[in-house]
Amino acid sequence: MCGIVGLFLKDKALEPKLGAMLSEMLVSLSDRGPDSAGIAIYGAATGNEAKITVQSPKADRDFRGLDAELAKAIGAPVSVAVNSTHAVIRTTPDKVDAAREALQTLRPDIRIMGAGEAVEIYKEVGLPETVVDRFHVRSMTGTHGIGHTRMATESAVTTMGAHPFSTGADQCLVHNGSLSNHNNVRRELIRDGMKFETENDTEVAAAYLSNRMAHGKNLGEALEGTLSDLDGFFTFVVGTKNGFGVVRDPIACKPAVMAETDQYVAFGSEYRALTKLPGIDNARVWEPEPATVYFWEH
């Protein structure tokens, strides 16, 4: 089943509350998927700093002394902010690839959740409530974010199988549905140089979008491509550095509700997820059309 949410703020005054609002939305959909939950939260990009969100099953061991070792390996300043099983590594934007490579040898058990100038990604096995508490998501600030609560169908219930999936800088995706041609698409993308961490169908959708955007398409065009190239059921919500997009497959049996006010654009698998947003009673509420791409950018 799965539950997905997205929130794109237009009103800067709400930015300090982004984490709290997104958490509330996700927790309200807990019964759509109790297996695992995750959230991607976008802060303002400064242009002179890059963030890599990493996860380790042995956080105590892996994150200790990592800042100094990584700084030495890549020859640039590094800071590491630990948050439960995750940590956000900050360095200069030109050193991201070097840092990814160095991490493979310095800390082979570390998994990269995502990287970019704006995004931080937190995901774990467990109920949304447990996951947002574990990472203190309610106190996070930002401009936009997406979240997912998972009922697994296509791959195992693991941290790496949880959503959001990120396969490109500041790009991530959450998915309600299941893809039937993901193995074929994965093979084609691997041939084009994309790398995969899991057997999961949603990771293929995320990589597909990243690949299209790497080939010069914008978010809207990349989302348009999913309608012809991906087979299966999907409602996707996608985050980029400054935007947020939604697309549903032409059959559109996976539910979706959107709301817009002067302050925000919100997405929920169900209306329940939106009921606590400010001004919802007077918001424009609608169901996104099948096979139609929606996106908003700052």
Partner 1 sequence: MPATPMSKAEREQGDARVFDLSLHSLRELNQALHKLTPGSNETAWEVLNPKGSHSVAVGVDQPVSIDVRGSVGYYCAGMNDGAAITVHGSAGPGVGENMMSGSIVIKGDASQYAGATGRGGLLVIEGNASSRCGISMKGIDIVVHGNIGHMSAFMAQSGNLVVLGDAGDALGDSIYEARLFVRGKVESLGADCIAKEMRPEHIELLQGLLDKAGVTGVKASEFKRYGSARKLYNFNIDNADAY
Applying CB under 8 A, does 287 fall inside the site for partner 1? yes
Does 2 qualify as catalytic in the annotation? Answer: yes
Applying CB under 8 A, does 290 fall inside the site for partner 1? yes
Applying CB under 8 A, does 1 fall inside the site for partner 1? no
Phi–psi pair at 34, nearest 5 degrees: -95, 5
Q: For residue 188, give every residue at least 6 positions away whose Cβ sits within 8 Å of its Cβ, in sequence order, or none.
A: none
Q: Which of 2, 7, 25, 246 is catalytic?
A: 2
State in angstroms the smallest separation of the CB of 209 from partner 1: 25
Applying CB under 8 A, does 286 fall inside the site for partner 1? yes
Q: Pattern 232-271, binding to partner 1, x per CB under 8 A?
A: ------------------x-xx-x-x------------xx
Alpha helices, H only, 136-276: 182-191, 201-214, 219-229
Phi–psi pair at 15, nearest 5 degrees: -55, -40
Distance CA 195, CA 32 (A): 30
**CB closer to partner 1 out of 250 and 278:** 250
Residue 39: closest CA among 114, 116, 117: 114
**CB closer to partner 1 out of 112 and 257:** 257
State in angstroms the smallest separation of the CB of 147 from partner 1: 17
Applying CB under 8 A, does 130 fall inside the site for partner 1? no
State in angstroms the smallest separation of the CB of 22 from partner 1: 17
Distance CA 67, CA 73 (A): 10
Distance CA 99, CA 94 (A): 10
**CB closer to partner 1 out of 148 and 254:** 254
Looking at the chain, how many residues does it have? 298
Q: For residue 93, give every residue at least 6 positions away whose Cβ sits within 8 Å of its Cβ, in sequence order, or none.
A: 47, 48, 49, 50, 117
State in angstroms the smallest separation of the CB of 258 from partner 1: 12
3-state secondary structure of 291: coil
State in angstroms the smallest separation of the CB of 252 from partner 1: 6
**Catalytically annotated residues:** 2
> Which chain residues interact with partner 1 by CB under 8 A?
250, 252-253, 255, 257, 270-275, 285-287, 289-290
